Chains A and B, each alone.
Chain A
Amino acid sequence: MKLSPSMRDSTRRVPTPWPAIALISPVHFLIGAIIFVPALYVAWLSLTQSSFGQQPVFVGFENYAQVLGDPYFWRALGNTVLVVLIVVHLELLLGLGVALLFASGLRAMPLLLAAVLAPYAVSEVSAVVMWRYLFDLDIGYVSQALAWLGLPALEWAINPTHGLILVALLSIWLHLPFTFVILYAARLAIPRELYEAAEVDGATPLQQFRRVTLPLLVPAILIAVLFRYIFAFRLFSEVWLLTGGGPARQTEVLAVYLYLEAFRYNAFGEAAATGWLLVLASLILALWYLRRLYKDMFATYAP
């Protein structure tokens, strides 16, 4: 059979780009050795019974059954979902508001930008110091202000719901700069002419927002929200440093639950099962993004 030139072209072997492989190998070595292989090993661990210094024994899905039957797991899952939903969506609203405010033209922009980005530089540990002090029941400024206004105090150390509210507040404060920057950059990328045209057509500011700004911001909003979902889901330090999961394990989130299972209760199998449930949740959340990414990558590198 004779091959047409185009077919022969497509079946011809593309030479392996050895220099490129050499250049990307350090990055892939790091990721493979530190993240990928250990993650696969966690999958194996999750099917075994083991603790420190013991030989793992294969137990099938017993660990998953154990974890899924543990009320503390469900409590941690519920807390995580609650905090993630509050944090990501409030953060989106606030970030959008600040981005639009800044895009409307203000004086002293570099200074204002620096101020809004400042929490990005703050460590979780220092942020916990700040917010614990602000909400300290005896001397905290916010607690005193609430009392002065006749409002009830946020009893974050005693009341689990209040504890989670403080965790959420703290998380929003720390991560607002990220959401803001993504949305602000996207808003600045919208051509001015679109607004001029809308104005000529007599669109009110609200109509301009709904018909021009919002539709054009959707891709950036989706990206910002996706990243924040994935990162908020791993929430650990804020909870650990603020409440330690207490009182009575009532404010644990999934990462804290995993940590305690592994490093306090020595239940590596259960911790590994929890870990894989965390990974799976992230993958499911990001499925549409991964599909788009997969197509993009092959369109760019192997057309």
Chain B
Amino acid sequence: MHPRSFLRSFLKIIAVAAVLAWSLAPILLIFMSSFKADRDIFAVPPRLGFSPTLDNYVALVTRWGDFFSGLLNSLIVTVGATILAVLTSAMAGYAYSRFRHRILAGSAFFLIFIRLIPPIVITLPLFPAVNALGLSDTHLILIVLYATFFVSLGTLVMRTFIDQIPKEVDEAAHIDGATRGQILRKIILPLSAQGMVAVAVFVIVYAWNEFLFAFIFTTTRAKTAPLVISEMIGAVEGVEWGVLFAASTVQLLPILLFVVLAQKHLVAGLTAGATKG
């Protein structure tokens, strides 16, 4: 091999190794440490070998029952927000792809403009309003909030995907006597399934992990898993790292697996949403 190209591939391997270490080391660390006994977690200097134990998970189950109802709440909120966001975005995306009118120009601008408003700002009036409506600490309020903060991006992504379906397909169905609703349900939605998956990926990751709204709007009944973990961080001044690692691992693994499996859709959605805006 040519010495210069050898040097180049050597440097490339070093760079790739550095990128992998940066991205994966923190994740691997809590995953591995969740199977460590306290004496291994607190070992100075760190020991390489350790005998794995499930003690932390046992402690999580026996002492933090809250965490598992938190997981269930997270699941309910995530499923609800995803369905709401995907359905409304698909309908709007279809309209923005197929119709032309000044109203659509103005409202499309509004849709993206609204993304500039920081979520924390709207908590000020929403907090008393949500309390007055009796929606505080419910799944419903989180579902609506999470879906709302992703319908702008969702509509853009859906429009991009529906734009790729030739208009002739709708026209042919129209001539065959299909109504708008039938065209949307029987033709457009199945053909833009990839777009719906891309939108779903965004919403699922966001709703599963979100902290700010959960922190402000839920206290006990609808408390999500990230909020329970944050309480555990607050409670670990005596430092119960092991339980914390176990909880983080349980919260992280399903969504990590999902992102890895859906990475193609995540990349497609991110690029469609950012560049077509």
Contact B16 A106 (CB under 8 A): yes
Contact A113 B118 (CB under 8 A): no
Contact A31 B114 (CB under 8 A): yes
Binds B, one of A59-67, A84-92, A194-202, A286-294: A286-294
Contacts of A290 in B (CB 8 A): 113
Instruction: Find A125's partner among B123, B211, B266 (CB 8 Å cutoff).
Output: B211
For residue B41, which residue of chain A has the nearest CB? A139
User: A76-105: contact bitstring with B at CB < 8 Å (1 yes, 0 no)?
Assistant: 000000000000000000000110010010
Complex CA–CA separation, A223 to B42 (angstroms): 44
Contact B152 A233 (CB under 8 A): no
A47 within 8 A of B: no
Contacts of B103 in A (CB 8 A): 16-17, 20-21
Contact B30 A129 (CB under 8 A): yes
For residue A280, which residue of chain B has the nearest CB? B116
A116 within 8 A of B: yes
B165 within 8 A of A: no
For residue A277, which residue of chain B has the nearest CB? B121
B23 within 8 A of A: yes
Tell me the count of chain A residues lying within 8 A, CB to CB, of chain B. Answer: 98
Instruction: Find A28's partner among B99, B102, B107, B209 (CB 8 Å cutoff).
Output: B107
Contact A30 B100 (CB under 8 A): no
Instruction: Find B121's partner among A130, A185, A258, A283 (CB 8 Å cutoff).
Output: A258
Task: Classify the interface of chain A: helix, strand, loop or mixed.
Answer: helix
Contact B124 A297 (CB under 8 A): no
For residue A234, which residue of chain B has the nearest CB? B118
Contact B20 A126 (CB under 8 A): no
Contact A116 B95 (CB under 8 A): no
A265 within 8 A of B: no
Contacts of A181 in B (CB 8 A): 266-267, 270-271
Contact A132 B233 (CB under 8 A): yes
Complex CA–CA separation, A186 to B267 (angstroms): 12
Residue ranges of B at the interface with A (Cβ–Cβ < 8 Å): 12, 15-16, 19-20, 22-24, 26-27, 29-30, 33, 41-46, 87-89, 91-92, 94-96, 98-129, 144-145, 147-149, 151-152, 155, 180, 184, 205, 208-212, 215-216, 226-227, 229-230, 233, 241, 244-245, 248, 251-252, 255-256, 258-260, 263, 266-267, 270-271, 274-275, 277
| Shortest beta-carbon contacts, A-B, top 5 | A123-B209, A301-B105, A20-B99, A23-B95, A275-B121
